[in-house]
């Protein structure tokens, strides 16, 4: 058993939310770059990926002072691309777990590379997104720089959790140097030189001028751009403008610009990107390599996906007869086979107790008849012991009867019992190439079960014996294909269960939005007598479906299913279900559907916790990413339900407001701290999302790569074409109302005290403090934290001020205090506002005062110091016209001076022509005057 625990620890070291990247002797291995299955075959994409990563390896090696490089990369090729001899089969790699994805943007514009980041400073990102056009269009070099440099920029986001050193939302800030105030571009390092220009564009013709000051902000006007000199002396920073030839480093402690209003300063407490990288596990586990170049050239493996192959391996031991588990298993697995598993997939079924039995070999789902045939092999009785490895090996046997190896296949392993022999097949599973999804049912499922998922990249799911949570059905419903083909995947619109008293009704509304509607099912389950409850379902046009319209299988007498022909009507579907049993019973409604069109991606939800295992009293974070295509969906109502192994479920509202656990406002990632630990053991996560037409909208992807406006070369400003932006009309096109449900899998909590918990969680860090001068007063605003992180109400605030940013950060307690005796905290999530007159401070042009805040709860627990906010008074110099006409040019365009001369000449010619015409007409009128007067 001791050896088993050591093996498990080793397996867990490199598992990070699906990514299988490993670092060995400075070389990153098992990086997965996946090509979206919707992309047409184009081998230039593969070639350019390889060229990009090879070049990036050397750039990364030098940028990290000979410490890291890219050693081995796997590229996933779509199934529909023609097979080639050099293509191997995928194993546990998949599109949805890839480190880099190559896919079209949702809308026609949007080739900006970006990394999706959920967590805070130093936390790994989710994935990097490149578009095909970014990889194929060499004209974008002038915009972003070389692909290799962009890849290193994004890799730093993904792997080390650093943030951008520019800020598209706050591109300028006020700075005082040697007593002189000036407006500066948000950048790092501050020694990057350039000019500030504003483009006036008509069609493809732009005239550039000097930027003006904004009367309200006193900074440069909206639309002003910082145009860098092409030739620089500054070697940093890669997280600002990696496209500059001189940039070969990350900003370090000596070059870092702590005054810049960027996310790196906000999220990383004003530390440089290099300091964050040096603090990473990667850095502490490696040493510099004594070489001027990477010791290995990057190697590539080309892996092609294949048809989905799934074997259900289901526990039928004696304990499955308890708590109605075997019947609930049938209900849930039936939904999986009839509604969830994709058309064209291969499915087999194995049951196990002390021994294992093949119920059916692989069958390909090519029709409804095959689906109906498969459910006849689902188990209906239970008895015997529990030997998990017997079931797994028999599942492998089923797959090998059709395929020569297990690569890319999937096992859905469900068990409710303990098994002391689990470790006997761990290495076999690890080396199999098969992905194992685990479902732990009830409180006694083997604690080692999740190791199968950890080793193979499978899902970890958990269902309690509480029947009014739909936990088992939701677990099976969450096991969709990881191919990236969203149009094929089943989408859960509703999953709700309630205990209904005798003769009482369960009523509700399910919204079918325009992005879904094909292959739509309404399923009602109950746990009492075999006869169904009274059901009434009404579609948006008033058509009614009653109990007689639903189908009840002879094999499953407690499930009624209605299949909607064609595409379901868009709008609100209303249902009423009455318990006609003589006793209360749990009734549930489950609705699933698929995309309505291949051309329009459906709204999707991905939910998860920030980690799979947690030690009390560390808090956890719940995340739910709501998107359509790659665009974030804003304004939705997101409710998370966390169900513990023992005790009642906890419901929390997730927010996308940039406060508390939420990193970035309006990025479509809804977040909340979770601290309601009811004991040790497994917990499961489920989220309900509701979007209402008047509130919900699409947003623009945050943290996009810096779009360089142009360069100054040999004293001449050469502007790039403006960034193509999607109009509000295009981005808000008919999203409408919608409903979604998603499972977030399971997690394990340890070290919770058996006698209950005390208050151990302070208020959360305030991250959105803002400050500004309001005449002779200072106005502060922020979002209220809670008593426990972002829940509840804090007791009081401490506000400090200083004329030194770093002093405020490093010695908060000794800074000047602001009188907050009249300031009473509001409930968490409320916008706070506080105005006061600063004493003993002379406010004049160039004055900058920094502020920070801490919250204290009723147990005297104190939050971290907030972000540092700056109140600056700057009186811009009087506007002056340039001494000569600008000589700016548009990249690939016409010299602006030439345009000005042409326009001026044209205007003069028109004026001369008009003058001559007026003179001629005037003479004619004078000659004709007497005749007109007669």
The residues assigned a catalytic role are: 154
Both structure tokens of 588: 């549930």
CA dihedral 626, 630, 635, 640 (to 10 degrees): 10
Buried/exposed code over 17-43 (b: 16+ C-beta within 10 A; e: otherwise): bbbbbebeebbbbbbbbbbbbebeeee
DSSP string, 132-185: HHHHH-GGGHHHH--HHHHHHHHHHHHHH----SS-SSS-EEEEEETTEEEEEE
Strands of the sheet containing 816-818, edge to edge, are: 816-818, 796-802, 848-856, 869-872
Distances (CA, A) of 785 to 412, 640, 659: 41, 19, 8
What ranges in 725-878 are assigned the alpha helix state H?
Answer: 728-731, 805-810
Q: Residue for token digits 């992905």?
A: 435
Rg of the chain (C-alpha set): 32
Are residues 232 and 188 in contact, defined by beta-carbon separation less than 8 angstroms?
no
Contact 743/477 with Cβ under 8 angstroms?
Answer: yes
Among 717, 634, 640, smallest CA distance to 897 is for 717
Residue 749: strand pairing partners:
614, 681
- Per the CB < 8 A criterion, the answer to whether 445 and 418 are in contact is yes
- CB atoms near residue 772 (< 10 Å): 15
Pick the closest to residue 801 from 788, 792, 814, 791 (CA basis).
814
Integer Cα distance of 579 and 500 in angstroms: 6
Q: Is 642 helix (H, G, I), strand (E, B) or coil?
A: strand
Which contiguous run of DSSP H or E holds residue 415? strand 410-415
Pairing assessment for the beta strands 410-415 and 435-441 based on DSSP bridges = parallel
Tokens, residue 656:
């996308």
> Which token pair is 76?
């996933």
Give the C-alpha separation, 705 to 717, whole Å.
Answer: 22
The tokens for 708 are 């360089």
Contact indicator for 792, 828 with CB cutoff of 8 Å: yes
The rounded distance, in Å, linking the Cα atoms of 274 and 264 is 11
Q: What are phi and psi of 841, to 5 degrees?
A: -130, 125
Bridge pairing between strands 72-77 and 299-304: parallel
Q: What dihedral angle (degrees, nearest 10) is formed by the CA atoms of 526, 527, 533, 535?
A: 0
The CA angle 715-716-722, to the nearest 5 degrees, is 135
């Amino acid at each position: 058993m001791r050896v088993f625990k050591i093996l498990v620890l080793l397996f867990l070291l490199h598992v990070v939310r699906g990514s299988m990247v490993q670092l060995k002797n400075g070389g990153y291995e098992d990086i997965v770059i996946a090509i979206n299955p919707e992309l047409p075959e184009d081998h230039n994409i593969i070639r350019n990926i390889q060229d990009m990563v090879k070049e990036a390896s050397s750039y990364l090696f030098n940028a990290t002072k000979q410490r890291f490089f890219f050693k081995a990369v796997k590229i996933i090729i779509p199934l529909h691309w023609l097979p080639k001899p050099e293509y191997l089969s995928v194993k546990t790699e998949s599109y949805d777990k890839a480190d880099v994805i190559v896919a079209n943007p949702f809308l026609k514009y949007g080739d900006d590379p970006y990394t999706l980041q959920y967590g805070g400073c130093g936390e790994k990102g989710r994935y990097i997104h490149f578009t095909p056009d970014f990889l194929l269009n060499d004209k974008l070099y002038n915009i972003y720089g070389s692909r290799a440099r962009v890849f290193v920029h994004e890799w730093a986001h993904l792997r080390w959790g650093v943030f951008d050193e520019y800020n598209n939302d706050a591109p300028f800030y006020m700075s005082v140097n040697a007593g002189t105030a000036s407006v500066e571009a948000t950048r790092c390092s501050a020694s990057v030189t350039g000019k500030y220009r504003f483009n006036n564009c008509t069609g493809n013709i732009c005239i550039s001028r000097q930027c003006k000051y904004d009367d309200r902000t006193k900074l440069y006007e909206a639309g002003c751009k910082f145009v860098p000199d092409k030739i620089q002396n500054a070697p940093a920073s890669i997280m600002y403008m990696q496209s500059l030839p001189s940039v070969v480093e990350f900003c370090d402690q000596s070059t870092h610009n702590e005054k810049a209003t960027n996310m790196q300063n906000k999220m990383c407490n004003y530390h440089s990107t290099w300091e964050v990288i040096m603090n990473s596990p990667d850095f502490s586990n490696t040493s510099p390599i004594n070489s001027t170049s990477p010791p290995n050239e990057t190697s590539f493996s080309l892996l092609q996906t294949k048809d989905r192959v799934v074997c259900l391996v289901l526990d039928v031991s004696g304990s499955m007869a308890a708590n109605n588990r075997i019947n609930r298993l049938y209900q849930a697995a039936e939904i999986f086979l009839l509604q969830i598993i994709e058309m064209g997939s291969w499915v087999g079924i194995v049951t196990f107790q002390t021994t294992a039995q093949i119920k059916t070999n692989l069958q390909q789902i090519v029709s409804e008849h095959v689906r109906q045939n498969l459910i006849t092999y689902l188990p209906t009785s239970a008895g015997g012991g529990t030997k998990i490895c017997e079931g797994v090996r028999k599942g492998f046997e089923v797959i090998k009867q059709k395929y020569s190896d297990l690569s890319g296949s999937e096992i859905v392993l469900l068990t409710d019992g303990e098994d002391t022999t689990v470790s006997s097949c761990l290495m076999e599973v690890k080396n199999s190439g098969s992905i194992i999804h685990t479902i732990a049912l009830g409180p006694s499922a083997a604690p080692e079960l999740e190791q199968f998922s950890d080793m193979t990249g499978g899902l970890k799911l958990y269902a309690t014996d509480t029947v009014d949570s739909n936990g088992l059905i939701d677990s099976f419903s969450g096991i969709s294909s990881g191919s990236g083909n969203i149009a094929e995947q089943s989408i859960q619109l509703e999953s709700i269960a309630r205990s209904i008293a005798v003769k009482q009704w369960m009523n509700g509304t399910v919204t079918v939005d325009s992005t879904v509607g094909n292959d739509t099912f309404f399923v009602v389950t109950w746990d009492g007598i075999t006869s169904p409850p009274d059901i009434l379902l009404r579609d948006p046009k008033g058509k009614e479906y009653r109990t007689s319209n639903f189908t009840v299988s002879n094999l499953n007498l407690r499930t009624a299913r209605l299949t909607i022909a064609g595409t379901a009507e868009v709008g609100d579907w209303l249902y009423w279900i009455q318990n006609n049993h003589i006793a209360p019973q749990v009734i549930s409604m489950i609705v699933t559907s698929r995309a309505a069109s291949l051309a329009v991606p459906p709204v999707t939800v991905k939910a998860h916790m920030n980690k799979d295992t947690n030690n009390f009293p560390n808090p956890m974070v719940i995340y739910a990413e709501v998107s359509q295509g790659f665009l974030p969906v804003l304004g939705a109502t997101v409710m998370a339900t966390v169900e513990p192994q023992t005790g009642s479920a906890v419901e929390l509202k997730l927010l996308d407001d940039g406060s508390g656990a939420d990193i970035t406002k309006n990025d479509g990632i809804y977040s909340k701290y979770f601290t309601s630990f009811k004991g040790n053991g497994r917990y499961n996560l489920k989220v309900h999302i509701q979007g209402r037409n008047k509130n919900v909208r699409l947003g623009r992807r945050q943290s996009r790569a810096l779009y360089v406006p142009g360069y100054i070369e040999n004293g001449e400003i050469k502007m790039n074409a403006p960034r193509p932006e999607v109009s509000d009309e295009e981005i808000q096109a008919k999203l409408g109302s919608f409903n979604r449900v998603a499972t977030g899998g399971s997690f394990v909590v340890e070290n919770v005290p058996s006698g209950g918990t005390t208050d151990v969680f302070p208020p959360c860090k305030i991250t959105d403090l803002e400050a500004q001068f309001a005449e002779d007063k200072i106005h502060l605003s922020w979002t209220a934290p809670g008593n426990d992180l972002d829940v509840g109400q804090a007791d009081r605030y401490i506000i400090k001020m200083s004329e030194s940013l770093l002093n405020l950060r490093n010695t908060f307690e000794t800074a000047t205090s602001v009188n907050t005796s009249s300031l009473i905290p509001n409930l968490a999530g409320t916008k706070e506002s506080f105005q006061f007159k600063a004493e003993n401070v002379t406010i004049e042009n160039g004055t900058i005062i920094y502020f920070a805040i801490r919250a204290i709860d009723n147990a005297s627990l104190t939050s971290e110091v907030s972000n540092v906010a700056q109140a600056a008074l700057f009186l811009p110099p009087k506007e002056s016209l340039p001494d000569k006409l600008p000589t700016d040019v548009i990249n690939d365009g016409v010299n602006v001076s030439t345009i000005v001369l042409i326009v001026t000449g044209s205007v003069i010619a028109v004026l001369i022509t008009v003058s001559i015409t007026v003179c001629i007409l005037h003479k004619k009128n004078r000659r004709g005057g007497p005749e007109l007067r007669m």
